[in-house]
Structure 1
């Protein structure tokens, strides 16, 4: 327990940096909505309106992803972070992924709120927020581990010119990534079977305005 506390204390600046980077992505994504042209906004509004009507009526165009499709999306993102953490040149890529994740969420929520105001926010709270309350921390923890591992390689091999084995840090890094993978697989079940049901609770409010 004590080593874990020391590790957490040492990595606190990294956690803060990665979290701020993600939040900057969210803000940037939300601001991107305002940059859309009038035609793009109309197309987006039409698409969202058709989507909500389809969800409300149980149309064929609303086909929730299967469990393995949802899990694969999260695991691919996690796997890419893990791979980038294995090399020094992959360090900027990890930070870019965290920023892009924030942009995607910010843009999605911004579109919903921009088009449907409080109803869009309510839909975002039931369709986007619940599983991301677990997914985002899991990915940020994996990102910090990846950045820390990559920085460890730089310090030991490049700056200090040490030739010690990297087996123990690698196993620790990989073990944490596997743990986050299990977390993501668990939350994928919620996203697969619970989130679509919650979406159908809210869509009637929005679909009425889209008819």
Structure 2
């Protein structure tokens, strides 16, 4: 497939699923806003408790013992099941509401993490969030949005076929093609996992060592 054909197919896909992208993106950004405001309205005791946990977790005296392998497997555990679940939801007719909720939760997690680090650690938190949270989420969020749209598109197609009674033998080939797309998404997801596991911790470690303190 030539690059021109690929670009043409991508443009066609976006045009055909424009509103699905709008819905998915709006859900993610709504989740981010909710995550930010949830930190703002946290109780003082809960906030202090989480700040103390965060400071102890990334204390400069502990960063030399970072287990990159442990972070790698934890990143897989946190992210891969989401994409697999989105794949499964696309194979169901009733998966659309759950897909929307997943997008909201993804945005909420990112918004909460950023807001909490900044409110709890001040200027240090900004640097840690930019180096330790943002890079991998530049991969995770597009992967989640794209997977959500593909899943919703396939679910809608199944729904239309059921109502129109147009079930054909080609459905198996469509499922295979649908699954291949998700394999590609997972491949891109692993780029984010590698960043989160090996690259981001290295930069955060150096930042903390240079700062010497995690106070505001």
Aligned residue in 2 for 1:48: 54
CA distance change for structure 1 residues 41 and 5 in 2, over 3 Å: closer, same or farther? Answer: closer
Query: Unpaired segments of 5 or more residues in structure 1?
Result: none
| Cα offset, 1:4, TM superposition | 4.1
| Contact 2:63 2:205 (8 Å CA) reproduced | no
CA distance change for structure 1 residues 24 and 169 in 2, over 3 Å: closer, same or farther? Answer: same
Q: Number of aligned residue pairs: give it.
A: 208
Aligned residue in 2 for 1:154: 159
Query: Is 2:167 the partner of 1:163?
Result: yes
Q: TM-score, normalised by structure 2?
A: 0.87
CA distance change for structure 1 residues 94 and 4 in 2, over 3 Å: closer, same or farther? Answer: same
Q: In 1, distance between residues paired with 2:172 and 2:56?
A: 53
Aligned residue in 1 for 2:184: 179
Q: In 1, distance between residues paired with 2:210 and 2:108?
A: 27
CA distance change for structure 1 residues 42 and 3 in 2, over 3 Å: closer, same or farther? Answer: closer
Q: TM-score, normalised by structure 1?
A: 0.89
| Contact 1:51 1:61 (8 Å CA) reproduced | no
Question: Which residues of 2 match residues 1-211 of structure 1 at below 5 A?
Answer: 1=5, 2-53=8-59, 56-58=60-62, 63-64=67-68, 65-158=70-163, 160-165=164-169, 166-204=171-209, 208-210=213-215
Per-residue displacement from partner, 1:159-183 (whole Å, max 9, x unpaired)? x222223123312211110001111
30-39 vs 167-176, which deviates more?
167-176
Query: Unpaired segments of 5 or more residues in structure 2?
Result: none
Say what the alpha-carbon RMSD is for the aligned residues: 2.1
66-75 vs 137-146, which deviates more?
66-75
| Cα offset, 1:63, TM superposition | 4.1
CA distance change for structure 1 residues 209 and 161 in 2, over 3 Å: closer, same or farther? Answer: closer
Q: In 1, distance between residues paired with 2:86 and 2:154?
A: 11
Q: In 1, distance between residues paired with 2:139 and 2:10?
A: 21
| Cα offset, 1:62, TM superposition | 5.2
